[in-house]
Structure 1
């Protein structure tokens, strides 16, 4: 028999006591239902805290003249990707060679784990356009919810996770002396990789645990995710392992953000996200240390 008193009862919205909710105001901590929550620069706020914040920052004219911050980091990342793509063409491929995630030299040039996320295939502009569209469609809302610093931490750690996903296939091929490639008919064949897809999939992964707090339709999100995951497996020359690596890391960081939303939990939040990034780097070091000659060391 279960003691009814031991069953956890979800809190109720302070404005609508008949509505159970797990969403809390980021400023005052009171439980609020989706109808009473308003997306702010960081988290969601209740109507009272929203009004207080608006009163503290001046009237309508002052707000209109103040530059809008939502999406600034997203659009900056998009601009950097475009600049890097132009650099690939103008350098005659030299920038691509210097920044691409080439497993055979990444041990001596570890910056490729991140720089490869700013490159795209010079052979087709579709690769670039898809990632730009995904950033434009999903980045600003997530950036507004998390804030700039946390959004950047999510983006770059997910990019790192995508790179580790690529290196995992390479490490598996080395450990099995190529048997993993032969047994799967080349499906697990490692190779060089480039593109922002790992970071983009990290943003999509973060939406999964944060979907209720942000107010995202999970059905639409799962459709987008499903289509792109399947394309990674059936379309040629797509690093599906980078997609999965970024997706898993993004989901893990999103879960951390969800569970550490209160100001008092900020040290735990920072430590947890940093721990995920350090863990990925430890995996990279172990890969290189296990077979240094294969990584160009």
Structure 2
């Protein structure tokens, strides 16, 4: 597989060496994390921000309205990888509490298809529970590496949608393929990050064959006897990651934002419906 031709539209217009997936909500230009300013909807580029501030200042002077100090709030909004940091921090805290509570949180938050009708939230909460030190260490390392890259490329809300949709798909696949199995861990969501990163890199013209090899090798490990790894969750996460990455690639244009949200919601609903179908087949 060869690299596609260089496309300037896939790189920040102010930093041509920085690849990005995020577009300015106002003008549609590609911008890297350094050039992004969070807005009410999406992010804006430096030129659009300056234009808006100039217009705001002119309107304020014309109306005589007083200015408001929002520096602290704006600086917090500019922090990169907020969601990635929160996911890692919450997972580590839950793991520590689980260790000191004799695995009480594993019993409370872990996923088993048997609990689906009465405790459906376990499809998500199981992502934050891990069985041992090496389990959480490897998973959080993967979230930290790929999460930061993807959150920079996609923006926070798209990254969160990808993470939790992939995690839901992992629980759904366990329900369909191994309904009697109890699972914990963020592996399904992480494999979704791998798959989506591959799709996005290809859509931006990058060569991501090496990542595809990594996905295949890690998936293969789950089939080895004695590993006690839920390969079903990995398959579900990969499928959802490929689909979500494809949706992001095809609805990148600002004018397709509504379609993008609708497709993501439809994907999540389909995953939940399939999980209930799997439950009905296994327990009824």
**Partner Cα distance (1:46, 1:72) in 2:** 18
CA separation of 1:98/1:234 partners in 2, compared to 1, >3 Å: closer, same or farther?
A: same
| Aligned counterparts, 1:1-297, within 5 A | 21=7, 23=9, 35=16, 38-39=19-20, 42=23, 45=30, 52=47, 66-67=75-76, 68-121=78-131, 124-170=132-178, 190-212=180-202, 217-234=207-224, 236-292=227-283
Per the TM alignment, residue 279 of structure 1 is displaced from its structure 2 partner at its CA by: 0.4
Per the TM alignment, residue 288 of structure 1 is displaced from its structure 2 partner at its CA by: 2.8
Per the TM alignment, residue 214 of structure 1 is displaced from its structure 2 partner at its CA by: 5.7
Per the TM alignment, residue 152 of structure 1 is displaced from its structure 2 partner at its CA by: 0.8
Per the TM alignment, residue 71 of structure 1 is displaced from its structure 2 partner at its CA by: 1.1
**Partner Cα distance (2:119, 2:79) in 1:** 35
**Contact between 2:23 and 2:31, CA under 8 Å: does it hold in 1?**
no
**Contact between 1:70 and 1:141, CA under 8 Å: does it hold in 2?**
no
Q: Deviations over 1:191-219 (max 9, x none)?
A: 21110000111111111210145676513
Per the TM alignment, residue 127 of structure 1 is displaced from its structure 2 partner at its CA by: 0.6
Q: Secondary structure at the match of 2:183?
A: coil
**Partner Cα distance (1:84, 1:155) in 2:** 18
Moved more, 131-140 or 85-94: 85-94
Structure 1 runs of 4+ aligned residues shifted over 6 Å read 46-49
Per the TM alignment, residue 66 of structure 1 is displaced from its structure 2 partner at its CA by: 3.3
Per the TM alignment, residue 273 of structure 1 is displaced from its structure 2 partner at its CA by: 0.7
**Partner Cα distance (1:57, 1:220) in 2:** 43
**Partner Cα distance (1:206, 1:259) in 2:** 13
**Contact between 2:116 and 2:276, CA under 8 Å: does it hold in 1?**
no
Per the TM alignment, residue 79 of structure 1 is displaced from its structure 2 partner at its CA by: 0.5
**Partner Cα distance (1:222, 1:289) in 2:** 34
**Count of residues in correspondence between the two structures:** 245
**Contact between 2:188 and 2:238, CA under 8 Å: does it hold in 1?**
yes
Gaps of 5+ in 1: 1-18, 27-31, 172-189
**Contact between 1:23 and 1:213, CA under 8 Å: does it hold in 2?**
no
CA separation of 1:24/1:288 partners in 2, compared to 1, >3 Å: closer, same or farther?
A: same
Moved more, 209-218 or 258-267: 209-218
Q: What is the root-mean-square deviation in Å for CA atoms of aligned residues? A: 3.2
**Contact between 1:164 and 1:280, CA under 8 Å: does it hold in 2?**
yes
